[in-house]
Amino acid sequence: MDCLVCHDTTGSYRKFPTACGDPVYKERKFGKKVFPAVDLRKVARKVGKTSRTTCGRCHFYGGGGDGVKHGDLDSSLFKAGKELDVHMDVKGLNYSCSTCHVARTHQISGRYYSRPAAGKHQFALPADDGWRLACESCHSRAPHKNIEILNHHTAKVACQTCHIPRYARGGVFTKMWWDWSTAGKFTAAGKPIVKKDKAGNVIYHSKKGDMRWAENVVPEYFWYNGRMSYLHEGDKVKPSARPLELNSLQGDYADKNARIFPFKVMRGKQPYDPVEQSLLIPYLFGKKGTGAYWADYDWVKACRVGMEEAGLPFSGKVDFIETAMYWPITHMIAPKEKALSCAVCHRRNNGRLENLRGFYLPGRDRWSFIDRSGWVLLGLTVLALLLHAGLRFVNSKRRQDGGKS
């Protein structure tokens, strides 16, 4: 991390993709893209506050391209409209990233490993201690003015859950699936294959394998108290029916700090050592003959170099394991009219919380014993009353007829 990458205000400060973080000193080509030399004197004279541009240059392109990693952070936010994000709307509030991600002495508030981003969900204003990251910091825990019942959700439902109805809404696709196991296929002539879908997303690449993309994605919902635990390199893992979780979410229904929170779940297949039972770290980028996968296309060689570099054991066997990683969705806040409506979750079937079980959700759940006995008793009562009414009717007729004769 250098100073200028955050504090440049000219927009001309660029790093070269393969120069290990160095800026572009001399004009260079990367594929067909030309990177002009950076005028460092000019940039140095124009340092200033961070901006959406400086943050977005890296964070909107995480995972190797626009929108690849997060789903709620991509280049569409540079010029966000109100529909995309009410706070970043360039014609409205026009917040920069640091309006919420407040920094004190270069400590930028944000989720970092096990530290919860949302803090204690406390109201920070008007005292404003500088840690303004949670929605509640400004909006309080009872922000709905007209409909009180909405405020009654805040102990168990995160603001993001209703107010980000879908992510990747700005026209940029995000990567949902990345299967490394299919990488390394070539045409009959031995040329690399690159397949794209209609929207121009790469769905197969000889270097990377199969990929799937999506936009306007409905998040998946889980209990989350702001903390995650992470799988570390070298950790022993066993294949199971469920994909291997690269990070796992902490918190459940009983946890008073946990809420239902929206996530992008990035799924895929990654190289795995079935003997050592650990994920493999392949060496990807390098020159031919070095073992680099993107030059030699040999997983065993690439993993041997990679694992040796990492100082971890490698059995020489490469398998692939399905993995899942959870990315909290917290940007792209829609206008309030576009927030989710009640019945999206409060419904018997096919609600957004269909798969989140283990707690009572009104409208979805019932105790079938109560419902069944209730309706049966009602039915028996009605039957009994009908019988009673019938007997009353027949008997009164009989009495009337008897009276006449």
Partner 1 sequence: MKVKIHLYTRFERFWHWFQAFLIIFLLLSGFEVHGSLKLFGYARACYWHNLAGWTLLILTAFAIFWHLTTGQWRHYQPTFGNLEKIVHYYLYGILKGEPHPFHKSPERKLNPLQALSYLFLKVVLLPLQFVSGILYYYYNDWINWGLTTRLDGVAMLHTAVAFVLLIFLVVHIYLTTTGGSLLAYTLAMITGWEEVEENV
Chain residues that interact with partner 1, rule: CB under 8 A: 147, 149, 151-156, 253-254, 256, 341-343, 346-348, 359-360, 362-367, 370-371, 373-375, 377-378, 381-382, 385, 388-389, 391-392, 395-396, 399
Q: Which is nearer to partner 1, 113 or 367 (CB)?
A: 367
Distance between CA atoms of 133 and 151, rounded to whole angstroms?
20
Distance between CA atoms of 161 and 263, rounded to whole angstroms?
9
**What's the N-to-C CA distance of the chain in angstroms?**
110
Cis-peptide into 36, omega within 30 deg: no
Q: Which is nearer to partner 1, 21 or 362 (CB)?
A: 362
DSSP secondary structure letters along 271-336? EEETTTTEE-----S--TTTT-HHHH--HHHHHHHHHHHHT----S--EEEEEEEEEE----PPPG
Q: Which is nearer to partner 1, 151 or 225 (CB)?
A: 151
- Least CB distance from residue 211 to partner 1, whole Å? 38
What is the β-pairing status of strands 174-179 and 259-273? Answer: parallel
- Least CB distance from residue 85 to partner 1, whole Å? 25
The answer to whether 78 and 53 have CB atoms below 8 angstroms apart is yes
Q: Which is nearer to partner 1, 148 or 238 (CB)?
A: 148
Q: Which is nearer to partner 1, 1 or 147 (CB)?
A: 147
Q: Which is nearer to partner 1, 121 or 166 (CB)?
A: 121
- Least CB distance from residue 377 to partner 1, whole Å? 6
301 phi and psi angles, rounded to 5 deg: -60, -45
Distance between CA atoms of 51 and 128, rounded to whole angstroms?
21
The answer to whether 135 and 86 have CB atoms below 8 angstroms apart is no
What is the CA 226 to chain-centroid distance, rounded?
A: 13
Phi/psi region, residue 344 (left: phi>0; alpha: psi -120 to 50; beta: rest), is: alpha
- Least CB distance from residue 147 to partner 1, whole Å? 7
- Least CB distance from residue 335 to partner 1, whole Å? 18
DSSP state of 2: -
Q: Which is nearer to partner 1, 3 or 370 (CB)?
A: 370
- Least CB distance from residue 379 to partner 1, whole Å? 10
Q: Which two tokens stand for residue 24?
A: 């572009």
Q: Which two tokens stand for residue 161?
A: 């859950």
Distance between CA atoms of 320 and 317, rounded to whole angstroms?
10
- Least CB distance from residue 257 to partner 1, whole Å? 10
- Least CB distance from residue 72 to partner 1, whole Å? 26
- Least CB distance from residue 367 to partner 1, whole Å? 5
Q: Which is nearer to partner 1, 142 or 199 (CB)?
A: 142
Distance between CA atoms of 54 and 78, rounded to whole angstroms?
10
Q: Which two tokens stand for residue 287?
A: 């020159």
Phi/psi region, residue 130 (left: phi>0; alpha: psi -120 to 50; beta: rest), is: left
- Least CB distance from residue 136 to partner 1, whole Å? 13
Q: Which is nearer to partner 1, 106 or 256 (CB)?
A: 256
- Least CB distance from residue 155 to partner 1, whole Å? 4
Q: Which is nearer to partner 1, 49 or 348 (CB)?
A: 348
The answer to whether 332 and 84 have CB atoms below 8 angstroms apart is yes
The answer to whether 383 and 376 have CB atoms below 8 angstroms apart is no
Q: Which is nearer to partner 1, 37 or 382 (CB)?
A: 382
